[in-house]
Amino acid sequence: MNLYWWSPGRHYEYFRKEARLNGRAWASLALRSGRLMRNFGDEMSPLAWSIASSSKAQWSPPSSADAIAIGSILHLALRDARRDLLVWGTGGRQDLTSAEKQRLDSWNILAVRGPRTAALLGSESVVTGDPGLFASELLSRPIRKKSGKKIYLPHFRAWSTNEGIDGIRSAKKLGFQVLTPAHSPKHIAEQIAESQYLAASSLHGLIFAHALGVPAMAVTPPGQEPDFKYRDHYESVGARLTFRSLDQVATALETASSLDSLPEVAYRAEISREAGVRREALAKALIEHGV
């Protein structure tokens, strides 16, 4: 399957644009991970496709793709695709124009990320769920929790500003292990699974935590990131979304009478169960389509 997911390092024009917009962040992340313009959540797309359908997918630009999956890439695909696409778990970022809605009428919408994207499409009965929820299937060995391990997983743009870098330094001082989103999906899943707690401005990180049953707090994302996509996912798994600063997360962890008294811990079992329901629905959508 020719599948498009956001990976600008694979395409010259996308690479050039991304280097201009966020070159500082990607250079810093490449030094730490050895991976150029790779974001673990987006790179989960072909893995989730293979897990759900037992068929392989390879990256293709929107102009020659057959399908799209993980990411807030609906608008980009509508702009650049040259044929009707299969949509599986993709999300939007903002309202669609009437022309975009008309074009989507001929696309094959198997699933979207959440109810807010479904409402954009005017198709509230469509299957909802982010394929990143298949992160639980990446663990090939038993994972032991590491006592006291807490992770901060920032959005990649945190490495592009002085404010973001100061936040990363503060996280380390507060005792967080900082994960860079340029690592592989498997590595990120294993690290989150080992942890007692996750704080993240990376939506993909929060999705992985929900899939793995790890308590997670949403850290206020960089200003360029719309909260639409966070709420879209959270509503799909029945979770309550509250953005906090990293200092507020640290204070909540320090002042809680016990970890179980935190709301994100108290209802993690319910979120994990709903994540399983979403995985089943996503897989069924592909299988019934004959993929």
pLDDT digits (tens, 9 = 90+) for 206-248: 999 999 999 999 999 877 788 999 999 999 999 989 999 988 8
Instruction: Kindly state the greatest CA–CA separation across the chain.
Output: 56
Question: How many C-beta atoms surround the C-beta of residue 163 within 10 A?
Answer: 10
pLDDT given for residue 261 in this prediction: 74
pLDDT given for residue 206 in this prediction: 97
- Secondary structure (DSSP) of 184-216: -HHHHHHHHHH-SEEEES-HHHHHHHHHHT--E
Phi, psi of 173 (to 5 degrees): -65, -30
pLDDT given for residue 131 in this prediction: 98
Examine the pLDDT at 266 and tell me if it is beyond 70: no
pLDDT band at 277 (very low <50, low <70, confident <90, very high): very high
Whether the model clears a pTM of 0.85, i.e. scores above it, the answer is yes
Domains identified in the chain and CATH numbers: 2-135+278-289 (no CATH), 137-277 (3.40.50.2000)
pLDDT given for residue 178 in this prediction: 95
Alpha-carbon span 75 to 177, nearest angstrom: 34
Alpha-carbon span 192 to 199, nearest angstrom: 10
pLDDT band at 143 (very low <50, low <70, confident <90, very high): confident
Contact between 179 and 188 under an 8 Å Cβ cutoff? The reply is: yes
H helices within 5-39, ranges in order? 12-33
Looking at residue 41, its amino acid is: G
pLDDT given for residue 32 in this prediction: 80
**Average pLDDT of the segment spanning 128-151:** 91
Alpha-carbon span 154 to 91, nearest angstrom: 20
pLDDT given for residue 168 in this prediction: 92
Give the pLDDT confidence of 28-76 residue by residue, as tens digits.
888 888 888 899 999 999 999 999 998 999 999 999 999 999 999 999 9
pLDDT given for residue 28 in this prediction: 85
pLDDT band at 194 (very low <50, low <70, confident <90, very high): very high
| Percent of the chain surpassing pLDDT 70 | 98
